Amino acid sequence: MPAIKLTTVVVAPNSTFNQFWHGFTNRQAVSFSVVVSGGSAPGVPNPLGRVRFTSDETLRHVDGTIGRFIFITNRAPFNPAIVDILAQIDSF
């Protein structure tokens, strides 16, 4: 199954974005990934696109679905990162 784009976020320099994605069933395996590019900033001629991405905790949400936390840390010191969050969902 191909990956789907969930959203695009802009993460400020040296900052972290986190979100809880839920709505997955007991019979779905979900893999998250990101595509990153450097956002423009004053005085930055070549913006750096560098992030640390983790998806580490899984739990059952109050609505009964499965959810996962994701964390994106912008490692660029002077410019924002533009990040597309992707998911590949397989059912078994």
What does the DSSP assignment read for the chain? Answer: ---EEEEEEEE-TT-EEEEEEEEE-TTEEEEEEEEEEEPPBTTBSS----EEEE---EEE-TTS-EEEEEEEEE--SSS-EEEEEEEEEEE-
Give domain limits for the chain. 4-91
Q: List, for residues 20-70, the tens digit of each pLDDT value.
A: 999 999 999 999 999 999 999 999 999 999 999 999 889 999 999 999 999
pTM of the model: 0.89
